[in-house]
Amino acid sequence: MRAAGFLLAATIAGACVSPQARPSATSENPQATTFESPSAPADARTATVLYVQDGDSFRVEIDGQEERVRLIGINSPEKGECFDQEARALLDDLIGGQPVLVGTDVEEFDQYGRILGYVWLGDVFVNAELIRQGAALARGYEPNTTLQAVLDRAEQIAQEEEIGMWSSTACGSTERYEVTITGINADAIGRDNENLNGEWVTIESNHPTVIDLSKWTVRDESSVHRYTFGSGVRIAPGESLVLYTGCGSDRSPEFHWCSNTPVWDNAGDTGFLLDTNGSIVAQYGY
């Protein structure tokens, strides 16, 4: 159930100064982007962090019992992915062994029995701090979206400042590629699962040289759906290609995911293009 007294501490519009928001505006950097985090609700429960499992989940002792907590509204890299160890280390450094406050939203638990939590360490809103430091993506899951605007704002800051996973060199890449996702057609004509090739994503290169896309990956916001380009796929300056969700014959510039289910969420999603190292080259949200 929704935690009583769950009110934002400030309006999430424009630049609002917060002790946790970095970089803060100064005379040397007057255009720095900041945001203000909400305070913990009055009925948030006190818990002690026992063990950090990954960048968005951990175990706590709460009310005398051990519980698992999954942070609401964020999605950190999965095990084995680029930046997964950094994300876990950041969360561990931030809250490991510490007393925290845990608040909930509409749903208290997920399907795995984990507490769905908004978490605070003192004045630090942990969910937003992880995103702001580029250790997680903002990912809203209805109906638990009361504070999603704060989390989305934190992601915007991380992107603008190229922090954490948003850095072009975060995953060992040495080149900045001029490639963009120019569009995603998410809502196929008719039933999506009966018209999979009615979904597609388009990619365009403005890079000065030909790029080898072999082992580059396209993924959705949830990270559940992933497509990897095969060997020998290249894109030249000024060229575009289209990646259809369904099956078909691959011949540049048309490629096929061959997924047996729709990939792109009609209600809103984000597509990511990752290079061979896992660095984010481009993204497109709708």
- The residues that are catalytic are 70, 78, 114
Residues β-bridged to residue 255: 243
- Phi first, then psi: what are they for 208, rounded to 5°? -70, -15
E strand residue ranges, the chain: 45-54, 57-62, 65-71, 74-75, 99-103, 115-121, 124-125, 137-138, 179-185, 200-205, 211-212, 217-219, 226-228, 234-235, 240-244, 254-256, 270-274, 280-285
| Omega within 30 of 0 (cis) for the link into 253 | yes
Alpha carbon distance 132, 164 (integer Å): 9
Joined tokens for residue 160: 């603008």
Alpha carbon distance 71, 122 (integer Å): 16
Alpha carbon distance 100, 114 (integer Å): 16
Q: Are 174 and 206 in contact (CB under 8 A)?
A: no
